[in-house]
Amino acid sequence: MDNLTSVTEFLLMGFSDLRQLQVAHFVLFLAIYLGALAGNFLIISTVIQNQHLHSPMYFFLVNLSFLDAGYISTTVPKSMANSVMNEKRISYSGCVSQVFLVILFAGTELALLTVMAYDRYVAICSPLRYGLIMNWKACFQMATASWLSGAINAALCTANTFSLHFCSSRFINQFFCDIPQLISISCSDTRLVIWEVFASALLASFGFVSVIVSYGNIFSAVLKIQSVQARHKTFSTCTPHLTVFSLFLSTALFSYFRPKSWSSPAVDLLSAVLYTVLPPLMNPVIYCLRNREIKATLSKITRKRERERGRTMTS
């Protein structure tokens, strides 16, 4: 039996062995990656430039954008590099880093989405106490707790996963290092890791339940508003977050909790792409399209730049 110190690299699953499809995969993932980075950093710069957006809701949104930029950067660049170089290898340290960062960003995103749901709950159900409850000190503490909880969970899961022995195939049936795939190629007792993953999923379920409870109270409060216009305006502040949360939840559930009869290498690969690529790409699109204040700020910035460009061309 080879122990873990003798493992120097793993082999990742590629999207294709055909050179033309490898190039197509590289181009597609490059476009997705650049689009995701541009969208998330656009939100960050927009919030920073507009003083009216310096509020708890947008503070958490900036954190979410940083998370999404880091999340997609953990898996996509390595996959692109492997495709363009017709390579499948990933170093042991690189695999450890991927596992840690994927769990860190995914866990922190869930915690942050839970906090954002609580922020909307306080804003709608207790508007007179909003400034008192969601003060800047509380916001920083909530954001720090989200990042810290994600880091602790990632450290524990990563340490336990790489305490396993990998003595058979070192081929990971996925385009990045994922704990279920690493468990499947281990020849040592994996019960501790499985129980820890189960415990993490159980803790994550509390976040899901908290969001559902928050929105149950929000829906109840919104339905009590007499004016249809006021009701629509109030609920519209929750729509982007609810859409982002639904996207994250649906892709995560499909990736890790779908029936075994639905599993195959192609389906596993597609589900992982949905889970790791789609949320970071779509989150900024959702907020830019559904949030009125961000749309208004982007329009102002665009008009300002057009005027400056016009003056430059005139001069």
Residue identified by tokens 């795939």 is 181
Cα 185 to Cα 70: distance, rounded to the nearest angstrom: 27
What pLDDT does residue 3 have? 45
Helix (H) or strand (E) holding 288: helix 278-290
Question: Cβ(281)–Cβ(73) under 8 Å?
Answer: no
**pLDDT, mean of residues 95-110:** 94
How far is residue 214 CA from its own chain's centroid? 21
Strand order across the beta sheet in which 9-12 lies: 89-91, 9-12, 171-172
Cα 52 to Cα 67: distance, rounded to the nearest angstrom: 23
What pLDDT does residue 186 have? 84
Counts for the chain of helices (H) and strands (E), in that order = 12, 3
Beta 9-12 vs 171-172: how paired, if at all? parallel
- Give the model confidence (pLDDT) of 64-90 as tens digits: 999 999 999 999 999 999 998 888 899
The pTM for the full model equals 0.87
**pLDDT, mean of residues 145-160:** 93
List Cα–Cα distances, 32 to 79, 179, 276, 298, in angstroms.
12, 24, 12, 21
Q: pLDDT band for 138, please (50, 70, 90 cuts).
A: very high
Q: Is the pLDDT of residue 98 over 90?
A: yes
Q: Is the pLDDT of residue 264 over 80?
A: no
Question: What is the pLDDT of the chain when averaged over all its residues?
Answer: 86
Q: With pLDDT > 70 as the criterion, what percentage of the chain qualifies?
A: 93
DSSP string over 199-252: HHHHHHHHHHHHHHHHHHHHHHHHHT-S-HHHHHHHHHTTHHHHHHHHHHHHHH
**pLDDT, mean of residues 152-162:** 92
| CATH architecture of the domain with range 4-314 | Up-down Bundle (1.20)
Domain ranges in the chain?
4-314
Q: Is the pLDDT of residue 56 over 90?
A: yes
Cα 22 to Cα 226: distance, rounded to the nearest angstrom: 57
Q: Is the pLDDT of residue 4 over 50?
A: no
Q: pLDDT band for 296, please (50, 70, 90 cuts).
A: confident
How far is residue 243 CA from its own chain's centroid? 13
Cα 228 to Cα 215: distance, rounded to the nearest angstrom: 19
Tokens of 122: 């306080």
- Give the model confidence (pLDDT) of 205-262 as tens digits: 888 889 999 999 998 888 888 888 888 888 788 888 888 888 888 887 777 777 777 7
Among 105-119, 161-175, 252-266, the range with the most confident prediction by mean pLDDT is 105-119
What pLDDT does residue 1 have? 41
**pLDDT, mean of residues 166-188:** 83
Q: pLDDT band for 311, please (50, 70, 90 cuts).
A: low
